[in-house]
Amino acid sequence: MTGSPLRIGVTELRRRPGNRAEVRREVVLDGLSVSTAAVPDGAEAVVEVTLESLSDGVTALGTVTVAWEGECRRCLETTSGTLVAPIDEVYKDDPDEGETLPITGDSVDLGQVVHDAVVLGLPLAPLCREDCAGPEPEQFPVGAGEATEGDEDDAERPVDPRWAALEELRFDSEAGE
């Protein structure tokens, strides 16, 4: 992991407490997802942080910006957006378990911080738009494909393909008929 673009050398920064360095990196993030939202494979993330030297460590404060995509929780259409997730971490020579991260070999590694910020920032139940009402009733009406008395046009309507697998289900009371 030595060649990681998110491993930042802090030797010069730590010469005096209060020193600051602006860092901007563009990295590819793969395999990050939660629920029905994910960062597309090969998506480029922009990491922008300000590193500041402390008497016993370094702070990293900034953002990671990356595109995401997923299924709308109401209509199940593909939707996408841009995530801007905050980064706010403290690195120390002697880290406190669960509170701060280690400075190793005069560098800090933002890799895990960026990963965690993106995963925690992805929408758990994305919406394509705030006023999404769900599937279009005219396109896939309730009971489509079932003819009703006096309404032959209903037999011509397509069944919503997302529900097509349910046509194969048979219950015990229907099995004997």
Phi/psi at 165 (nearest 5 deg)?
-65, -25
Average per-residue pLDDT for the chain: 84
Give yes or no for residue 104 having a pLDDT over 60: yes
Plot region of 6 (φ>0 → left; ψ -120 to 50 → alpha; else → beta): alpha
pLDDT in tens, 20-59: 999 999 999 888 999 889 999 999 999 999 999 998 999 9
Mean pLDDT of 130-155: 58
Question: 3-state DSSP helix/strand/coil percent for the chain, to nearest 5?
Answer: 15, 35, 45
Mean pLDDT of the 3-13 span: 89
Token reading at 65: 């910006």
User: In terms of C-beta density within 10 A (0-12 exposed, 13-18 middle, 19 or more buried), how is residue 31 classed?
Assistant: exposed
Mean pLDDT calculated for residue range 134-150: 54
pTM comes to: 0.72
pLDDT of the residue at 145? 46
Query: Measured on CA atoms in the order 122, 123, 128, 130, is the torsion positive or negative?
Result: negative
